[in-house]
Amino acid sequence: GPQRAAAAGAADAGEPGGESAGHRPARYAASPRKVRHPSPAVQPVARATSPSVQSPPPSRRQVRETSLADSFSGGPGAFGSPNGGATPAQQSGALLLRIIDTLQADKVSLDSKLTGMRTERDKLEAENAQLRAANLEKDRQIAVLLASFHGECNRSGASPLVGSTSRRDLSRADLSPCRA
């Protein structure tokens, strides 16, 4: 546009801020895109003489850079921020607090399950102790009966009943404890 032409003209004409073409060959002359002159002579005439235009609107790049800078500084329009303009330290702190809350809830749940399992274990141990006691009582009763059978057989001189002692076998067998 007109700004590039003015910049190129300034570079070739040796104006202040421009480079003289006499010092360097033309192929090394500054590119009009890279030359930025603060001089009002380089700006288009319409802008320089118009008092109503104060500053040009921000370019898309400037808007992007501003919003990106705001997001890193926690300013307005911070992207990726669930807490609005929270700083990364605040965000990580909030995340850690949520993780801690979740872990504490899991711990309470596991403690409750553990208490339930311990209660169930205690009940099973009590039932096991009762069954063992009943089993020992049955063993004692059997021992008493066998001792009485042996005593009767020893008095009569016969041998005691030998073999299976299941209920079925005892119901069919002769009820005398000794065999002749």
Beta bridge partners of 178: 160
Distance CA 167, CA 114 (A): 44
Pairing of strands 159-160, 178-179: antiparallel
Token look-up 């921000």 returns 58
Q: Which helix (H) or strand (E) holds 58?
A: none
Asked whether 178 and 149 are in contact (CB, 8 A), the reply is yes
Residue 82: inside a domain? no
What is the C-alpha separation between 73 and 60, in angstroms, rounded? 20
Same domain, yes or no: 96 and 147: yes
Which has more pLDDT, 135 or 26? Answer: 135
pLDDT at position 78, please?
A: 45
The answer to whether position 179 is within a domain reads no
Note the pTM of the prediction, 2 decimals.
0.35
The model's pLDDT over 144-167, given as tens digits with 9 standing for 90+, comes to 999 998 887 777 766 555 555 555
Domain of 28?
1-50
Residue 107 has pLDDT above 90, yes or no: yes
